[in-house]
Every structure is written in structure tokens, then in C-alpha cells.
């Protein structure tokens, strides 16, 4: 099977959170993936929201997708070198659970240097594995 790839740039604003979710769902539907589209869209939404909340400003924001041999890899790239941190669960805090969801729903995830910033990625296992 060949590898399918795509990427798109968005401004690091609140409107991009919803746009990223919609664009990822549309892309994955067009590829005909068998992965859970809701999980993929949710996790991308959380990573984009982290950039908007913690980097924002005029920083870069890109979403990358790759499908190879049924493995789905999605990533969010920004221009900050600050690494993401999974926060302790606090039921009184309305936010701060995004990376915890990535940890639970993704088969694996990580963060790597990328030019002047970082790439936070996750992989979803092929259905049935």
C-alpha cells in the first residue's frame, strides 16, 4: 500500500480549532480510512487547542496527516519549543485534559523537534489490531 500524506496551515486562533476538526474529518473520509474518525478529530482538536492556548500570537500552526499500511499518524506543528505536559487530573479545572485523552486514545504519541518549534504527533492503530 502506498502512503497518503497531507498537511494544511492554519492561524493559531480559536476559529482554527473547529476548522482543524472539520478538515481532518473530511480528509480522512476522502481517504476512506477505517479508523475511528471521532477519535482522530477529537485528538487533533486537543492538540490544536493547545497551540492556540499556549502558543497563540503569530506562531505557525500546521496539521499533518499520513496513512501507511493502515496506520494513521496525525501531527500538529507549531513554532514553540515548549514541550507539552500531561497535567494531573483536577475535576475543578474546566480544561487541561487534552493530552490525557491523547495518552488514553492513541496507540502511541510523542513530541519531536521541528525546525524552530515542535511536532506533537499521535498514531491510531489499524482497526482490528
CA distances from 100 to 41, 47, 96, 104 (A): 15, 11, 8, 6
**Given a cut of 90, is residue 38 above it in pLDDT?**
yes
Q: For residue range 103-117, list pLDDT tens digits in order.
A: 999 999 999 999 889
**Given a cut of 60, is residue 1 above it in pLDDT?**
no
End-to-end CA distance of the chain: 17
Number of domains observed in the structure of the chain: 1
**Residue 75 and residue 63 in contact, taking contact as beta carbons nearer than 8 Å:** yes
In a domain, 24, yes or no: yes
In a domain, 118, yes or no: no
Query: Would you state the cell numbers that stand for residue 109, as one nine-digit string?
Result: 504519541
What pLDDT shows up at residue 127? 78
- Give the helix/strand (H/E) hosting 48: helix 37-54
In a domain, 51, yes or no: yes
In a domain, 92, yes or no: yes
In a domain, 97, yes or no: yes
- Give the helix/strand (H/E) hosting 23: helix 15-31
Q: Hey, how many other C-beta atoms are within 10 angstroms of the C-beta on 118? A: 22
In a domain, 126, yes or no: no
Query: Would you state the cell numbers that stand for residue 67, as one nine-digit string?
Result: 496513512
In a domain, 94, yes or no: yes
Domain interval for residue 26 = 13-56+87-105
In a domain, 38, yes or no: yes
- How many residues can be counted in the chain? 129
**Given a cut of 80, is residue 59 above it in pLDDT?**
no
What pLDDT shows up at residue 96? 61
Q: For residue range 2-32, list pLDDT tens digits in order.
A: 899 999 999 999 999 999 999 999 999 999 9
What pLDDT shows up at residue 7? 97
Amino acid at each position: 500500500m502506498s502512503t497518503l500524506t497531507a498537511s494544511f496551515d492554519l492561524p493559531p486562533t480559536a476559529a482554527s480549532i473547529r476548522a482543524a476538526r472539520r478538515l481532518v474529518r473530511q480528509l480522512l473520509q476522502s481517504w476512506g480510512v477505517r479508523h475511528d474518525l471521532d477519535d482522530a478529530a477529537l485528538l487533533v482538536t486537543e492538540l490544536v487547542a493547545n497551540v492556540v492556548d499556549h502558543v497563540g500570537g503569530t506562531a505557525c500552526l500546521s496539521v499533518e496527516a499520513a496513512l501507511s499500511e493502515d496506520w494513521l499518524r496525525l501531527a500538529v506543528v507549531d513554532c514553540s519549543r515548549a514541550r507539552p505536559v500531561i497535567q494531573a487530573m483536577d475535576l475543578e479545572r474546566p480544561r487541561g485534559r487534552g493530552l490525557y485523552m491523547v495518552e488514553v486514545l492513541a496507540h502511541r504519541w510523542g513530541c519531536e523537534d521541528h525546525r524552530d518549534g515542535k511536532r506533537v504527533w499521535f498514531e491510531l492503530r489499524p482497526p482490528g489490531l
